[in-house]
Amino acid sequence: MAESSRQRSPAPVKRPNFLVIVADDLGFSDLGAFGGEIHTPHLDSLAYAGLRFTDFHTAPACSPTRSMLLTGTDHHIAGIGTMLEIAPEFRDAPGYEGYLNERVVTVTELLRDAGYLTLMSGKWHLGMSRETSPWARGFKRSFALLPGAANHYGTAPLVKMRSTRPIYIEDSSFAENLPDSFYSSDYFTDKLIGYLEQRTDDLPFFAYLPFTAPHWPLQAPEDLIAKYRGRYDAGPEALRQERLRRMQSLGLCPSTVSAHPVLAETKEWDDLSPEERRISARSMEVYAAMVDRMDWNIGRVVHYLRKTGELDDTVTVFMSDNGAEGAIVEAFPLLGPRIAEFVRTQCDNSLENIGRSNSFVWYGPRWAQAATAPSRLYKAFTTEGGIRVVAFITYPGFRRQQKISSCFTTVMDLTPTFLDLAGIQHPGTSYGGHDVARMRGRSMAAYLRSDAATIHPADQSTGWELFGHRGIRQGDWKAVFILPPQGPGRWQLYNLANDLGETNDLAAATPDKLSDLLRLWETYVEQTGVLLVPPAK
């Protein structure tokens, strides 16, 4: 038969690479492309080229979000029902193991099985042992910080404040020593680029780069701190108003938005002494420097992929793991007193030393709410300020690019999206000889290709819970329960379509709608195994 008349097999579709970048405690408006003043040219370029989300949601804190990102299901199912360093009384309850349990399969396990090279460098926070490390959950190569935070300079004493055992691991071997030049954002990036450079096979890759910046302790190179000297001397409220105006001009929030009032137990800017204002502003300068340095490192990865001709074949996702960190760290239950004593006896938090390896500062609730505005509160809360985060997806293969999306989506949607784009089926309820949970997220692929107008159907509901704070959303309606002192300790109701700041409680005015949502909340609790009180011992 002549070649022209022979039936030909279709050419195999090239599977995309994936680059997933997670910032730690980054605020919604910190990046220039999202309204901020911090110098972030590399992230801004990616964001403007891609699809910026204004309604992308995570869990209220870091490890729950990471479990959802890697599994496509709720963190109460995946083993991170709470953060045991904050609430150890929940330990060993089903779904509260403190590590990714065997009830879930990770996206990296499935991609690895399908021929992807799976790489990671950065923060893990999903298990402290070799058996619960990235090496055990589908990553071919990995360098990971196992706990939730550490000194960004690595070799300074603060790195072992919370642990006497090694807290970094490369593949299956604990890293006992770090180089003297270690700085978290630089080293994580070095490692990831090194893994990419060491490839010998022409395999598509999944590269996961979860930074620890800008999580406290706030530390950054001195030249970058100097770059922001004086930028924040007007205080957090002035920054909040400046960013709100910028977000409105960019089309990221309505010009008519009512921002939620700042909620903070710390003193107002005008009530601080001149020295207190200088120290607070310096902390924000260091924070900005950390974000600046993270952006520079992301630029290095982008440059590498552009040089190798792989950037246009790579789906790039960038997100924060939760809202900005507004906690007064020394007030944390259990952990706080230890931090306070450590800071008092071993750290130098003088104005001239803030940001160096032997300092330990955080920036508190007022600077955090400059970044979460117009939303209510910040990290740890199920209000929008805790769970609505900066996020974008960039890939030339999508039609829906160079746009802003107000479509509701969640971090659980990422794993089904990656699997969909790679042509891989989730195994459903069985993997590796044991039962696993189905994904609760939905693929964004059709939406990104402009083949669908939404990601989630209007009648679908999404729930949140952490530390007793609760939330349930269906469409634009959201019920939220925030414990005192930051909330009233009862259910409140908001219509986010015209109240992004959660300022107008409609619970009394529309009790039937609240009842509908509370029935959905009970279903969420039943399906995910949420515990509001510790299990009986």
Q: How far is CA 134 from the centre of its chain?
A: 17
62 a catalytic residue: yes
> 235 — alpha (psi -120 to 50), left (phi > 0) or beta?
left
Measured distance CA(43)–CA(61) in Å, rounded: 22
Residue 119 near residue 206, CB atoms below 8 Å: yes
Is residue 269 helix, strand or coil? helix
Structure tokens at 31: 């990046």
Measured distance CA(456)–CA(458) in Å, rounded: 6
Q: Which residues, 6 or more positions from 455, have their beta carbon under 8 angstroms from its beta carbon?
A: 407, 408, 409, 413, 442, 444, 447
Distance spanning both ends of the chain, measured CA to CA: 76
Catalytic site residue from 39, 42, 57, 62: 62
Catalytic site residue from 75, 76, 125, 456: 125
Measured distance CA(67)–CA(480) in Å, rounded: 22
Measured distance CA(189)–CA(285) in Å, rounded: 23
Alpha carbon separation from 386 to 150, 274, 464 (Å, rounded): 22, 31, 11
Give the largest CA-CA distance in the chain. 90
Measured distance CA(473)–CA(498) in Å, rounded: 15
Running DSSP on this structure, what letter comes out for residue 456? Answer: S
Of 351, 361, 460, which is closest to residue 413 (Cα–Cα)? 460
Of 474, 458, 476, 488, which is closest to residue 521 (Cα–Cα)? 474
Which residues participate in catalysis according to the annotation?
Answer: 62, 125
